[in-house]
Structure 1
């Protein structure tokens, strides 16, 4: 998830959720996480944005 998606999830908690769909080959399943996402998952930044000075 992007930094922007995380910011929007926190700004619009009542309107936002993260849904994961999985296990399509056997029996499709899903689960939903509602903000704050930090309560459900460990969020670790893995990308950097570079800008010229």
Structure 2
């Protein structure tokens, strides 16, 4: 559910095992992880993402 995804993000426990993630490249998953990092000092900036 959308609420479950939000909770995972807040807890830093993203589930990349269930659909649609198995078909997504590891580099794309790494990008998502870095954009959703809770610590703002470690989180990717917009410039880094681009």
Is the shorter-chain TM-score for this pair beyond 0.5, marking a shared fold? no
The alignment's TM-score, normalised by the length of structure 1, stands at 0.28
More strand by share: 1
More helix by share: 2
The alignment's TM-score, normalised by the length of structure 2, stands at 0.28
